[in-house]
Structure formats: structure tokens, C-alpha cells
């Protein structure tokens, strides 16, 4: 895997982490949004670890 691609995946992973934290800090976090963001984050983590 080229490092540019890996860097892009890491940046997306960090963005998803921030989005999850933002949603969780709301007075009434949307569990469906949080679950979807966590799924996306896990997919990225798996792709990063596969290479």
C-alpha cells in the first residue's frame, strides 16, 4: 500500500473519531448515527491493518 493511501485512510479514521465524539457530546446523541460512524471507522481500521 502506498503511504499516501494509508495517510488518507488514517485521516478519515481520525475524522470519524471526531464525528463520533461530537455526536456523543450532544444532549441526546443519535444511536443510529453513532453506530454507523463506528462501523465505518471499523472498516477503515480493518483496511489499515490488512496492509
Give the pLDDT confidence of 2-19 residue by residue, as tens digits.
789 899 999 999 999 999
Which long-range contacts link 3-11 to residues 24+ away (Cβ below 8 Å)?
6/48, 6/51, 9/44, 9/47, 9/48, 10/48
Tell me the pTM.
0.85
Give the pLDDT confidence of 41-50 residue by residue, as tens digits.
999 999 999 8
Amino acid at each position: 500500500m502506498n503511504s499516501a493511501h494509508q495517510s488518507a485512510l488514517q485521516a478519515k479514521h481520525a475524522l470519524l473519531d471526531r464525528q463520533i465524539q461530537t455526536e456523543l457530546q450532544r444532549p441526546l446523541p443519535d444511536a443510529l448515527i453513532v453506530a454507523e460512524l463506528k462501523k465505518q471507522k471499523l472498516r477503515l481500521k480493518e483496511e489499515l491493518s490488512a496492509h
